[in-house]
Amino acid sequence: MDKTGNPLLAPIEGQSLEVLPLQGTTPDLPDGGARYIADGLAANGLDVTVGQRTAQSRLLLGVAAVTPASSLSDYVVISWEVYAPGGTLLGRYAQQTEIPSHRWQLGDPDTLRLVGLDAGPILGQIAQGPEQVPETGAKAPEQADGGRPRIALAGISGAPGDGNRSLTRALSSVLTQRGFLVVEQPIAGDTVAEGLVEVVPAGGNREKVTLTWRLLDGPKGAKLGEVQQANVIPAGSLDGKWGDTAALIAVGAADGILDLLKQAARL
């Protein structure tokens, strides 16, 4: 493919996009399917590598979650993050694809290449450069974000295992899918979300997990309200990797956040 035909996909000189091994619910392959996905990205004209990272490489990290769509198909949601060589986050993209059952887990090459082909145009745009974020305290011009509501995730604390990281990443992806612009540095007028996880014994070798999401009006603004989720689970079941659990919780959290913002006339 002629990479000069689309300037958004033209590689930055000296900087390839290194596809890192997938995380989460990954195909049964040594690199989690990264090589086949890279083939699909390359078909879009992107300059991609696998296992050839250099000091100038931009990095593509994907975390996958799989949920049944029907008796014959699965939903695969991949939370993509693109990083500059110095570690700066350039952007996120939540990709959702419906595929025939078990093809993802089996690592079907054609299925994985199609995933990369589908994600290529958006990931190519993200890889071109960092989001332009106004200085703290400045008002962002309305046209800068295409009118999308802005939200910043100020962190999640208290979760066992890798929950703090997994929940942040999963919620960011789901909110992006719902039309939000998830930003790193909040400014005046942005919604800021903070998360707290509490785990207490519930008897009978069970635990009660409560997640509280607090929404604020700006970095140091007034409290807009809270969204709570709670469930009783077998003790210790979240002490390791949260995997698909984080994705399912994020969907419920996003629903609650949307309802709360509508009540507060923020949407």
* pTM for this entry: 0.51
Q: What pLDDT is attached to residue 177? A: 67
Whether residue 78 has pLDDT greater than 70: yes
Instruction: Name which residue leads in pLDDT, 242 or 177.
Output: 242
Cα 219 to Cα 197: distance, rounded to the nearest angstrom: 21
DSSP designation for 180: -
The CA-CA-CA angle for residues 78, 84, 89, to 5°, reads: 55
Q: Which domains does the chain have, with CATH numbers?
A: 3-126 (3.40.50), 145-263 (3.40.50.10610)
Whether residue 132 has pLDDT greater than 50: no
Residue by residue, DSSP assigns the chain as --GGG-GGGPPBTTB-EEEPPPEES--SSTTTTHHHHHHHHHHTT--EESS---TT-EEEEEEEEEEE-SSSEEEEEEEEEEE-TTS-EEEEEEEEEEEETTHHHHT-HHHHHHHHHHHHHHHHHHTT-----PPTTSPPPGGGGTTPPEEEEEEEES-STTHHHHHHHHHHHHHHHTT-EEESS--TT-EEEEEEEEEEE-SSSEEEEEEEEEEEESTT--EEEEEEEEEEEETTTTSS--THHHHHHHHHHHHHHHHHHHHTT--
Crossing angle of helices 109-126 and 34-43, rounded to 10°: 60
**pLDDT tens string 171-220:** 887 787 677 888 888 888 889 999 999 999 998 899 999 999 999 998 88
Cα 128 to Cα 137: distance, rounded to the nearest angstrom: 26
Please give the average per-residue pLDDT across 86-110, as a whole number.
83
Please give the average per-residue pLDDT across 6-26, as a whole number.
64
Phi and psi for 174 in degrees, rounded to 5?
-65, -40
